[in-house]
Structure 1
Amino acid sequence: MTALADPLAPLLALADVQDAVGQARAAADAAMRHRALRRQGGVVAAEISLRSAVASAALEGYAHDRELVRSGVVTDTVVQGCLRVAAALPSLVDTWPKAPRQVLARLHVLAARGSVPMDALGHPVDPSSGPRLDALAALVAGGTSAPPLVLAAVVHGELLALRPFAGVPGVVARAAARLTLMSSGFDPRGLIAPEVGHLAREPEYLGAAGAFATGTPDGVRSWLRHCAGAVSLGAASLEEVAEQTWTAPQS
């Protein structure tokens, strides 16, 4: 019996994709070697989680000053949903590759509570999206040997294109992509926040996501390159946070 071909393998042959993925990997690895992470990793992780949530909410059109969110005065339901999602990611890492659709439903419940009717939480709005969600789940569950960043980008792009959940589908898509990076070992501690990079290049993010949805080689290539760049920017944000933490006065 002939083994099935890896469905994501052709993506690595697209122009500049391997180079972009390699550069993002190197940037992430360098950032995660910062000396602050050895002694104050928890503090850094908490700050990255906050930045991730604030950026994801902004990408949904709910932009708020990070310091106001930190202080707890922002009660916006989308922002609160993003904070819940960011806080829950570490607890979902092990389940993600085993039961992706279960985790997607959980992410939607966390993200959309208070934003959509209770009976819509955790349920795809269009049953016809089921086969594509199943195919995506199969990839997450071990159906590809593509680099983690490529798989994360495909997960992200597919969920943005499908918009299977009501209210805040982008929040779910970005969280699923981040879970893919965490569960694959690319970013096991959840220290890289690509959302920060997506927000920094928001017009490119929106355009590249639309291009990915066309399914053309050029569209997919532009999305993969954008996602790699977002990871590199997330790595730069980690280095900034780590350096600030390291140089902050010690009590």
Structure 2
Amino acid sequence: MPTDDPLSPLLSLGDITQLAAAATGAVAAVHRRPVNLRRAEITGSESVLRGARTSALLDGAQVTLDAEPTGMLGQAISVYGLLAPDSLQTSARTFNRAPLQILARMDTLAGGDGVPATPDGAGRLRVLAQVIGSGAHPALLPQIVHGEILAREIFGGRSGVIARAAGRLAAVATGFDPRGLAVPEPWLNRHRGDYERAAAGFAEGPEGVRVFVELLLRAWTAGAEEAEAIARAAS
């Protein structure tokens, strides 16, 4: 980890160091599953679909297994399409090189015009882009990307789905989840109240950031368990 990592101070807060290690280990173990070494495109596709459907649920959509991909669900599937196996690595490379381009694309796929919805949104995104390009801690950067977009509502009502998809893409780009297998969204949906409260507190200072990052790291560990279930079903 670079000595100038702007996120390194977070490692001294609460249980972040331990939770980051646990999440990193759990996600790495999923990638070593034989089915994921041989057929990651199959398990990755299911991961993306589950993530998109659950993200739509988190935003208040009525989603059933046979639901048509329209409205909020259709938009979520479109945004998460940037994480699909056939486009994942291209999306990750673009995210590392030009993250604002990817975020604008996500916004248009979610029904926006690719422009931040808040007066300070463009400035905040420029700062976030600098953090993305800084070589920040692989397990922490996805949580900060997620939190900044969600808590600041940078893309208005579309911020939730963009934050979750961007957080997952950041995990691929940093190597934290290089094939995009983990599915943290179901855990967030099961703990929706905690997730909403943590997001509300993210912008209030270091303590709020700590709470949010810890919660997201727990979601990633659970997301690795979700990926394990996908791998078992595909074996």
TM-score, normalising length from structure 2? Answer: 0.91
Query: 1:109: Cα distance to partner?
Result: 0.8
Per the alignment, residue 169 of structure 1 pairs with: 159
Contact kept in structure 1, 2:14 and 2:210, CA below 8 Å: yes
Query: Where in structure 1 are there 5+ consecutive unaligned residues?
Result: 113-119, 247-251
* Aligned counterpart, 2:216: 227
Shift in Å, 1:75: 4.0
Question: Hey, what's the Cα distance between the residues in 2 that align with 1:185 and 1:197?
Answer: 21
Larger Rg computed on CA atoms = 1
Q: Is structure 2 residue 26 aligned with structure 1 residue 43? A: no
Q: Larger deviation: 89-98 or 45-54?
A: 89-98
Residue 124 of structure 1 and its aligned partner are, at CA, apart by 1.2
Q: How many residue pairs are counted as aligned between the two chains?
A: 228
Contact 1:101 1:137 in 2 (8 A): yes
Please list, as runs of the form range in 1=range in 2, the aligned pairs for 1:9-48 lying within 5 A after superposition: 9-48=8-47
Once the 2 structures are TM-superposed, how far is the Cα of residue 5 of structure 1 from its aligned partner?
5.2
Question: 1:128 maps to which residue?
Answer: 120
Q: Which secondary structure state, in structure 1, belongs to the residue aligned with residue 200 of structure 2?
A: helix
Query: Which residue in the other structure is 1:249 paired with?
Result: none
State how 1:1-251 maps to structure 2 within 5 Å.
Answer: 6-65=5-64, 67-69=65-67, 74-89=68-83, 90=88, 91-112=90-111, 120-142=112-134, 144-145=135-136, 147-215=137-205, 217-246=206-235
The gaps in structure 2 that reach 5 residues or longer are none
* 2: CA distance, partners of 1:186 / 1:171: 20
Q: Which residue of 2 aligns with 1:117?
A: none
User: Structure 1 residues 46, 122: CA separation in 2 closer, same or farther (over 3 Å shift)?
Assistant: same
TM-score, length of structure 1 as denominator length: 0.85
Percent of aligned positions with the same letter in both sequences?
Answer: 36
> 1:191 is aligned with what amino acid?
L
Question: 1:153 is matched by which residue type in structure 2?
Answer: Q
Structure 2: distance between partners of 1:164 and 1:139:
16
Amino acid at match of 1:78: M
| Partner AA of 1:136 in structure 2 | L
> Does the CA-based 8 Å contact 1:15-1:221 persist in structure 2?
yes
What is the RMSD computed on CA atoms of the aligned residues? 1.7
SS in structure 1 of the partner of residue 66 of structure 2: helix
After superposition, give the CA deviation of every residue in 1:142-189 in whole Å (9 maximum; x if it has no partner).
Answer: 2x53x2121111111111122122431111111111111001111111
